[in-house]
Chains A and B, each alone.
Chain A
Amino acid sequence: MTVSSTGTPTTRVIGGLALLITGWVVVSAFFITPADSVQGDSVRIMYAHVPTAWIAYLAFVTTAIASGFSVARRHRTLGFDRVAGASAEVGVLFMAMTLITGSLWGRLTWGTFWQWDPRLTTTLFLFVTYVGYLAVRRIDTDPRQRASRSSVIALLAVLEIPLVHFSVVLWRSLHQEASVLNTDGDVRLDGLMLFTLFSGVVAFTLIFVWLVIHRQRLTTLSDLERVVGLDAAITARRAENSAGVTA
Chain B
Amino acid sequence: MNTIVAVAKKDLRIEWRTRTLLARVVPFALLVLVLFAVALDSEALLLRAAAGLVWMAMLFSTMLVVQRAFDIETSDAAMDSLLACTAQPSRVFYGKALSLFVQLFALAAVLVTAAVVLYGASVNGNRVVLLVTVVVTATGGLATVGTLYGAVVANMTGRDSLLPLLALPVLAPLLIAASRATEAAFGSQTIDLANGWAWVGVLVVYAIVFGSAGAAAFSPLTESDS
Contacts and interface: CB of A to CB of B under 8 A. Distances in A.
Q: Is there a direct interface between A and B, measured as CB atoms under 8 Å apart in the complex?
A: yes
B170 interface: yes
Contact of B180 (A131, A145, A163, A171): A171
Interface residue SS majority, chain A: helix
Contacts of A132: 162, 165-166, 169
B215 to A, nearest CB: 13
A166 B226 CA distance: 38
Interface stretch (A32-40, A83-91, A149-157, A186-194): A149-157
Given A163-B173, A168-B176, A171-B176, A152 B220 contact: yes
Interface in B147-165: 148, 152, 156-158, 162, 165
Contacts of B72: none
A136 interface: yes
Interface string B183-196: 00000001100010
Interface stretch (B18-26, B106-114, B132-140, B202-210): B202-210
A174 B195 contact: yes
Interface residues of A, number: 31
A135 B206 CA distance: 25
B129 interface: no
Nearest to B223: A148
Most buried by A among B152, B170, B195, B220: B170
Main secondary structure of the interface of B (DSSP, over half): helix
Contacts of B169: 125, 128-129, 132, 160, 164
Given A71-B220, A135-B162, A164-B172, A170 B152 contact: no
Interface residues of B, number: 32
A159 B209 contact: yes
A141 B202 CA distance: 37
A164 B84 CA distance: 36
B124 interface: no
Contact of B221 (A152, A160, A163): A152
A54 B47 CA distance: 41
B177 interface: yes
Contact of B202 (A71, A125, A145, A166): A166
Contact of B206 (A142, A148, A163, A171): A163
Q: Shortest 9 CB-CB distances between A and B: which pairs?
A: A167-B173, A148-B224, A163-B173, A132-B166, A132-B165, A129-B169, A128-B169, A167-B176, A160-B170
29 contacts: A71-B220, A128-B169, A129-B169, A132-B166, A135-B165, A136-B152, A136-B162, A139-B158, A141-B226, A142-B226, A148-B220, A149-B152, A149-B221, A149-B224, A152-B217, A153-B152, A153-B166, A155-B217, A156-B148, A156-B217, A159-B213, A163-B209, A164-B169, A164-B172, A167-B172, A170-B198, A170-B202, A174-B198, A177-B190
Interface of A: 71, 125, 128-129, 131-132, 135-136, 139, 141-142, 145, 148-149, 152-153, 155-156, 159-160, 163-164, 166-168, 170-171, 174-177
Given A171-B176, A174-B191, 13 more contacts: A131-B165, A136-B166, A145-B224, A145-B226, A149-B221, A155-B217, A156-B213, A159-B210, A160-B173, A170-B199, A170-B202, A171-B180, A174-B180
Interface of B: 148, 152, 156-158, 162, 165-166, 169-170, 172-173, 176-177, 180, 190-191, 195, 198-199, 202, 205-206, 209-210, 213, 217, 220-221, 223-224, 226
